[in-house]
Amino acid sequence: QVQLVESGGGSVQAGGSLRLSCAASGFTISTYFMAWFRQAPGKEREGVAGINKGTITTYVESVKGRFTITKDNAKNTLYLEMNNLKPDDTAMYYCAAGSWLTLSRMLDPSQYNFWGQGTQVTVSS
């Protein structure tokens, strides 16, 4: 059974940092495209960062230079390091896994098969 479990969310002040984790089970993340998405109340789900089956990464423009997506294949875990957080980063963050993607669509939520339950990130000014 495929399962993705996020953790690491919380409340921080602007300028702070958080590290999100996504523990995967039931499949091997090295054989999937993996990504982080976020959704704020009243807004559409937005792709934040993605990583292919190797080491190619992509980021939405608003987080470039502040967020870093990595994965530990031995631990079957995906991470999102978030620095210099801003109030606009406040959202529920989800990790997702997809088996068949192209690099150009790594931040398209419709391309992902499996989703976690999400972890809340709140950034206060």
Token output for 96: 């997702």
Band of pLDDT at residue 103, cut at 50, 70 and 90: confident
Band of pLDDT at residue 9, cut at 50, 70 and 90: very high
Task: Count other C-beta atoms under 10 Å from residue 104's C-beta.
Answer: 8
**Predicted confidence (pLDDT) per residue in 40-94, tens digit:** 999 999 999 999 999 999 999 999 999 999 999 999 999 999 999 999 999 999 9
Please provide the average confidence, as pLDDT, over all residues in the chain. 97
